């Protein structure tokens, strides 16, 4: 068929040999890298040029590094930006990047502790400052969390302050029964830990590594878990309910593009922990909703990548909840709760929990409560 032949020159620079297909165009490696880097470059422009913010004083951004593909690639790109900024003596002051890692072995015991990677990252990205904390340090960074846990969990659950923080967290996490609720609550706790750290370090905002497919899965999962109104800050650039700006600079990039980018820089391979997908044989009902959505976006994304990308774009068009319809913040996840009188007359699926807690815990968090089996 005419027009389907591989051109002998890169369709962008018209010089080098094309090596990759980038969104239907055959391009060389250099042009590929330039394109992929350009997207987050535009998305971080306001911080580089300090647009609409004080020109003096620090502008700190926190980058939570999970050693996954996306956050590692984002760190690599932003570090390059900072190096370029520092070379210009009279340029704008730009931003500082703080990197936080939560020791992955304290989140999931099946992942080995990743200490060598931490020192390697420090060495590779000298312009950033690095901190690593265990998951259970949430009790130190977010002193209220123990009380919230007791309030939230099953009546039999007691947060025993006499235990070590590690044990306290284990007991709480063990009290949560289903796969969906476990992942949901873990995500909330991790978010709280990161936010608490960012606040302590007086950061202006958080730059998250999520790529487009991750954000699409997150959008759908949030909707499926009854967190519809939270998508305005969970997947959109802008102010979060925690007084920190949330940014997703990789939002326009597909995972495969990040994977290709990472492959051009072999030093990144040692940092990245390969992400294990739940095996194909796992029964659907044993997956968590988050895993199901990742799988859905992955399989549908092969055929319809643009449709999946569009899910996040649609969510971005929603207006973050104005003060009119928003109630107080949920004690657990921090989302602004919808006024129960206005939002829904939906009958509770489970009549067991229409108690006085509903005013402090949002609808979706109540769904993940430990003693609900479904």
Partner 1 sequence: MPPTPCANCHADRAVIIRPKNRQKLCRQCFLNIFETEVHETITATKLFQRGERVAIGASGGKDSTVLASVLKTLNERYDYGLQLTLLSIDEGIKGYRDDSLETVKRNAEQYAMPLVILGYGELYGWTMDQVVAQVGKKGNCTYCGVFRRQALDRGAERLGIKHVVTGHNADDVAETVMMNLLRGDLPRLARGTSIVTGSAASEIKRSKPLKYAYEKEIVLYAHHKQLDYFSTECIYSPEAFRGSARTLIKDLEKIRPSSILDIVRSGEEMAELVPSEVRGGAAADEEAAETTGCGSQGGSGRTRGGEMAEMERKLAEDEAAADRETEVTLATAPAARRKKNAVKSQVLGKCERCGYISSQRVCKACTLLEGLNKNRPRTAIEMEESLEESSSTLRRLEKVELGG
Q: Give me the residues that bind partner 1 (CB under 8 A), please.
A: 23-25, 38, 42, 178-180, 219-220, 222-229, 231-232, 284-285, 287-289, 292, 296, 300, 303-307, 309-311, 313-321, 325, 338, 342-347, 349-351, 363-364, 367, 373-374
Work out how close the CB of 139 gets to partner 1 at its nearest, in angstroms, rounded to a whole number.
Answer: 29
Work out how close the CB of 175 gets to partner 1 at its nearest, in angstroms, rounded to a whole number.
Answer: 18
- C-beta pairs of 163-167 under 8 Å, 24+ apart in sequence: 164/136, 165/136, 165/137, 165/138, 165/139, 165/140, 166/106, 166/134, 166/136
Work out how close the CB of 245 gets to partner 1 at its nearest, in angstroms, rounded to a whole number.
Answer: 18
What distance in Å separates the CA atoms of residue 51 and residue 56, rounded to the nearest whole number? 12
Question: Which residue lies nearer to partner 1 by CB, 179 or 193?
Answer: 179
Residues in CB range of 190: below 8 A, 6 or more apart: 102, 107, 135
Work out how close the CB of 31 gets to partner 1 at its nearest, in angstroms, rounded to a whole number.
Answer: 10
First CA to last CA across the chain, in angstroms?
Answer: 54
Question: Which residue lies nearer to partner 1 by CB, 146 or 226?
Answer: 226
In the Cβ-directed half-sphere of 284, how many Cα atoms lie within 13 Å?
Answer: 4
Q: Tell me, rounded to whole angstroms, the distance of Cα 258 from its chain centroid.
A: 15
Work out how close the CB of 55 gets to partner 1 at its nearest, in angstroms, rounded to a whole number.
Answer: 21
Question: Which residue lies nearer to partner 1 by CB, 268 or 364?
Answer: 364
What distance in Å separates the CA atoms of residue 172 and residue 153, rounded to the nearest whole number? 8
What distance in Å separates the CA atoms of residue 198 and residue 267, rounded to the nearest whole number? 28
Work out how close the CB of 247 gets to partner 1 at its nearest, in angstroms, rounded to a whole number.
Answer: 15
Work out how close the CB of 134 gets to partner 1 at its nearest, in angstroms, rounded to a whole number.
Answer: 30
Biggest CA-to-CA distance, the chain:
74
Question: Which residue lies nearer to partner 1 by CB, 34 or 93?
Answer: 34
Place of tokens 């990047």: 97
> Going along the chain, which residue ranges are E strands?
20-22, 25-27, 60-64, 96-102, 129-133, 205-207, 238-239, 245-247, 326-329, 336-338
Question: Which residue lies nearer to partner 1 by CB, 168 or 367?
Answer: 367
Question: Which residue lies nearer to partner 1 by CB, 134 or 228?
Answer: 228
Question: Which residue lies nearer to partner 1 by CB, 111 or 287?
Answer: 287
Work out how close the CB of 92 gets to partner 1 at its nearest, in angstroms, rounded to a whole number.
Answer: 17
Work out how close the CB of 91 gets to partner 1 at its nearest, in angstroms, rounded to a whole number.
Answer: 17
What distance in Å separates the CA atoms of residue 51 and residue 319, rounded to the nearest whole number? 22
Question: Which residue lies nearer to partner 1 by CB, 67 or 233?
Answer: 233
Question: Which residue lies nearer to partner 1 by CB, 180 or 191?
Answer: 180
Beta strand pairing status for 96-102 and 60-64? parallel
Q: Is the dihedral of CA 3, 212, 64, 94 positive or negative?
A: positive
Residues in CB range of 373: below 8 A, 6 or more apart: 177, 178
Q: At what angle do helices 179-200 and 165-174 cross, to 10 degrees?
A: 150
Work out how close the CB of 115 gets to partner 1 at its nearest, in angstroms, rounded to a whole number.
Answer: 35
Question: Which residue lies nearer to partner 1 by CB, 60 or 295?
Answer: 295
DSSP code per residue over 111-162: SPP-HHHHHHHHHH-TTSEEEEE-GGGHHHHSTTHHHHHHHHS-TT----TT
């Amino acid at each position: 068929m005419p027009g389907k032949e591989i051109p002998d020159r890169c369709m962008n620079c018209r010089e080098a040999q094309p090596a990759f297909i980038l969104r239907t165009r055959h391009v060389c490696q250099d042009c590929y890298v330039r394109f992929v880097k350009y997207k987050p470059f535009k998305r971080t422009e306001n911080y580089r040029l300090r647009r609409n913010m004080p020109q003096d004083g620090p502008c700190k951004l926190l980058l939570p590094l999970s050693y996954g593909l996306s956050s590692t690639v984002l760190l690599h790109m932003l570090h390059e930006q900072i190096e370029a900024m520092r070379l210009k003596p009279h340029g704008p002051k730009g931003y500082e990047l703080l990197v936080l890692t939560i020791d992955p072995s304290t989140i999931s015991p099946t992942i080995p502790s990743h200490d060598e990677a931490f020192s390697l990252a420090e060495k590779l990205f000298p312009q950033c400052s690095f901190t690593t904390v265990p998951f259970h340090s949430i009790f130190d960074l977010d002193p209220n969390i123990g009380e919230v846990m007791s309030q939230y969990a099953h009546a039999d659950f007691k947060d025993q302050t006499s235990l070590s923080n590690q044990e306290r967290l284990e007991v709480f996490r063990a009290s949560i029964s289903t796969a969906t609720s476990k992942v949901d609550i873990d995500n909330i706790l991790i978010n709280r830990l990161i936010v608490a750290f960012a606040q302590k370090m007086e950061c202006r905002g958080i730059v998250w590594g999520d790529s487009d497919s991750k954000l699409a899965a997150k959008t759908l999962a949030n909707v499926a878990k009854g967190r519809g109104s939270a998508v305005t800050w969970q997947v959109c650039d802008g102010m979060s309910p925690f007084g920190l700006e949330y940014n997703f600079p990789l939002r326009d990039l597909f995972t495969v593009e990040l994977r290709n980018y990472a492959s051009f820089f072999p030093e990144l391979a040692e940092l990245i922990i390969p992400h294990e997908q739940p095996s194909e044989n796992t029964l659907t009902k044993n997956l968590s909703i988050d895993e199901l959505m990742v799988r859905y976006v992955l399989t549908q994304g092969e055929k319809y990548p643009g449709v999946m990308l569009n899910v996040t774009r649609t969510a971005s068009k929603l207006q973050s909840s104005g003060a009119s319809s928003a109630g107080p913040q949920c004690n657990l996840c921090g989302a602004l709760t919808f006024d129960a009188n206005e939002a829904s007359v939906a009958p509770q699926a489970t009549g067991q929990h229409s108690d006085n807690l509903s005013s402090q815990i949002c609808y979706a968090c109540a769904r993940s409560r430990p003693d609900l089996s479904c």
